[in-house]
Amino acid sequence: MNIFNIILVQPLANGLIFFYGILWHNMGLAIIVFSLFLRFVLNPLTKPYMMSMKKIKDAEPQLKKLKEKYKNDKTGLMKAQADFYKEKGINPGAGCLPYLLQIVVLIALFSVFSKVLVSGPGGMEKINSYLYQPLKFKQEETLSTQFLYMNITKPDVFKVPNFPVPIPGPILLLAALLQLASSLMMLPAIKIEEKMASKTPEKGDDMQASMQKSTTYMFPLMTLIFGMSFSSGLALYWAVFSAFQVWQQYKTSGWGGLSNTIWKIKAYLKIN
* 122-176 pLDDT, tens digit each: 678 888 889 999 999 887 788 888 998 898 888 999 988 888 888 999 999 999 9
Helix (H/G/I), strand (E/B), else coil: 125: helix
Q: How confident is the model at residue 30 (pLDDT cuts 50, 70, 90)?
A: very high
Measure the CA–CA gap between 223 and 252, rounded to whole angstroms.
24
pTM value is 0.77
- Asked whether the predicted pLDDT for residue 191 surpasses 50, the reply is no
Measure the CA–CA gap between 247 and 245, rounded to whole angstroms.
5
For 259, counting Cβ atoms within 10 Å of its Cβ (0-12 exposed, 13-18 middle, 19+ buried), the class is middle
- Pseudo-torsion of CA 124, 14, 130, 236, nearest 10°? 70
Average pLDDT over residues 232-239: 91
Q: Which residue would you say has higher pLDDT here, 245 or 209?
A: 245
Shortest CA distance to 175 belongs to which of 126, 127, 231? 231
- Asked whether the predicted pLDDT for residue 67 surpasses 50, the reply is yes
Share of the chain above pLDDT 70, in %: 80
pLDDT tens-digit profile of 71-121? 788 788 888 888 887 887 777 665 566 667 777 888 898 888 887 777 666
- Asked whether the predicted pLDDT for residue 211 surpasses 70, the reply is no
Structure confidence at residue 188 (pLDDT): 54
Shortest CA distance to 29 belongs to which of 176, 246, 238, 233? 233
Measure the CA–CA gap between 193 and 84, rounded to whole angstroms.
14
Structure confidence at residue 221 (pLDDT): 85
Average pLDDT over residues 65-69: 81
User: Do the bridges between strand 150-151 and strand 146-147 make them parallel or antiparallel, or are there none, so unpaired?
Assistant: antiparallel
Range of the domain at 203: 3-271
- Pseudo-torsion of CA 263, 216, 240, 176, nearest 10°? 90
Structure confidence at residue 120 (pLDDT): 64
Cβ-contact 204, 132 below 8 angstroms:
no
Structure confidence at residue 98 (pLDDT): 66
Measure the CA–CA gap between 178 and 246, rounded to whole angstroms.
7
Into how many domains does the chain fold? 1
Average pLDDT score, the chain: 80
Average pLDDT over residues 28-42: 91
Structure confidence at residue 41 (pLDDT): 84
Q: Which residue would you say has higher pLDDT here, 118 or 14?
A: 14
**Angle in degrees, CA 84, 48, 200, rounded to 5:** 40
Q: How confident is the model at residue 192 (pLDDT cuts 50, 70, 90)?
A: very low
Q: Which residue would you say has higher pLDDT here, 48 or 227?
A: 227
Share of the chain above pLDDT 90, in %: 22
